Amino acid sequence: MIKRTLFFGNPAYLSTRNEQLVVRYPNDEMPEKTIPIEDLGFVVLENPQITLTHGLLMKLVQNKTAVITCDRQHLPCGYLQPLVGHSEQTERMRYQLNASQPLKKQLWQQTVMAKIENQAQHLLLRQKNALKLKRWAKVVKSGDAENHEAIAAAYYFQHLFNGIEDFSRNQKGVAPNQLLNYGYAILRAVCARALCGSGLLPSVGIFHRNKYNAFCLADDIMEPYRPFVDFLVYDIAASGCTLEPMNTRLKSELLRLPALDVYIDGKQSPLMVAMSRTTNSVFDCFLGSSRKILYPEIR
């Protein structure tokens, strides 16, 4: 089942009644709305004047709904996740923590190869040269010792948005960087939610290991999914609409990401479902029953 994504950009009072999320607005500006909690996958809270009841938070967490909060720049900055995401969580985490360094290097190699291959395919779909990316995807070594991931990313963004003056991939760079930032933040939450559902620790990565980062594994596993965000952002930029400032319409386009159709293992699937298949395959690799992570392909 495809879960819904709700975005709240205006002041609102959120509560629960009869297993429904109840939305009320100040001064009765709009009629009360109700949405079944079991249908919700992601709830994005942007306005600082949103009030939630504890009863609602409890039911959202029990439903494994990702509750995402935003900062003053309207970018996602927090993510509420359940303490128990899987019935065998302790055992699964033990396998994750005991994973050998050679295994982690092999998994990172697969991840980088899948990311570069998707970047190359995206460039080809935009009628841009991707020969170097195709070549780099085939020569990634265990652990990506030669850092092809960074080399490919620099080439990719240089050619993807070459029609935009002064563009370079930078957190605070010119548009559409802010759209990429927003999309990647949503993608990170999608990945973290799937990892918890697979009984894994999002903070213990296979490559990323920054002690200040609580989502190292999410940052690892989301890499081959990033080009799907780029795909959405490219279409938005190519439409000719105004990219600054970030508005509700632009955000609503990016919030389509969890339900975006992707191809994984030869079959079409919503991205949020594909992400769960990916994270389950990561556990299978930790368990030793598989040697390959399932990643989606851009077609």
Residues 6+ apart with CB under 8 A from 186: 42, 44, 68, 76, 229, 254, 255, 257, 258
Q: How far apart are CA 202 and CA 214, in angstroms?
A: 7
Contact predicate 3/39, CB 8 Å: yes
> Is 208 annotated as belonging to a binding site?
yes
Q: How far apart are CA 121 and CA 127, in angstroms?
A: 10
Q: Judge if the upstream peptide bond of residue 176 is cis by omega within 30 degrees of 0.
A: yes
> Is 297 annotated as belonging to a binding site?
no
Residues 6+ apart with CB under 8 A from 185: 68, 75, 76
Q: How far apart are CA 182 and CA 179, in angstroms?
A: 5
Phi first, then psi: what are they for 38, rounded to 5°?
-65, -15
The enclosing H or E element of 20 equals strand 20-24
Contact predicate 36/75, CB 8 Å: no
> Is 74 annotated as belonging to a binding site?
no
The enclosing H or E element of 3 equals none
Per-residue b/e over 86-117, b at no fewer than 16 CB within 10 Å? Answer: beebeebbebbeebeeeebbbbbbbbbbbbbb
CB atoms within 10 A of CB 279: 26
Sequence ranges of the binding site for Mn(2+): 149, 208, 223
